[in-house]
Amino acid sequence: MARRTDARSFLFEKIRTSPSKFVHVTGIPYAIEAEQAAEAAKLDHVWLTLEVPPFGRLRAAINTLSRLNRDAGFDGRVRVAIVAGTWSEKPPTGLVEEQGQDYALIEGTVPVSYEAYDHDALAELLISRAKLAVRAEVWGELYAKDHLGVHQIHSRRASCAVPMDLKNRDGALKLYYGNNTAELFLFKFCGQP
């Protein structure tokens, strides 16, 4: 009898055999934790695990530090803007490929102010807020390792240490809270416009 391919297995195969995909994932927060690494210098993420039917659990890897900027002698802190909002219905869970996202369009429609965070302070902020969330959305690049996930959840414009300038590929995080408020998190590194 032939084995039936489930949605998760199909997605793993698709990721491994095709170019990087920019996606929008909406899921139910399952767990949030600081990245685990043997060397403290390599800690630069918070991991938000989302339940996303029919694909199961996906990990959103959110940068809390730019190791590339830090290691090149630039400011390694992440600049964060938080755009407050409200909601009346939780968005449905799912995973869809997107054409892209540009922070400039968001910044052109609502007032946005960025504040620089050290690794520990940003990790603490994201963990505390995600623990309150009843739904989460992430935009970024899909990947498959020993797990399915989304990374590059930040601006992809050229930075102090990275000359590659990718437009319309800006990742973000949006958290929905039980009191019908929401927060959209935008993340930038040193030198990004």
pLDDT 10s digit of each residue in the chain, 193 long? 444 457 767 676 766 667 779 999 999 999 999 988 888 888 899 999 999 999 999 999 999 999 999 999 999 999 999 999 999 999 999 999 999 999 999 999 999 999 999 999 999 999 999 999 999 999 999 998 888 999 999 999 999 999 999 999 999 999 999 999 999 999 999 999 9
Q: What is the pTM of this model?
A: 0.91
CA 87 to CA 89: how far, in whole Å?
6
Q: What are the φ and ψ backbone dihedral angles of 144, each rounded to 5 degrees?
A: -140, 120
- C-alpha torsion sign, points 80, 65, 31, 143: positive
Give yes or no for a contact between 161 and 122, defined as CB atoms under 8 angstroms apart: no
> How many residues are there in the chain?
193
**150 bridge partner residues:** 60, 142
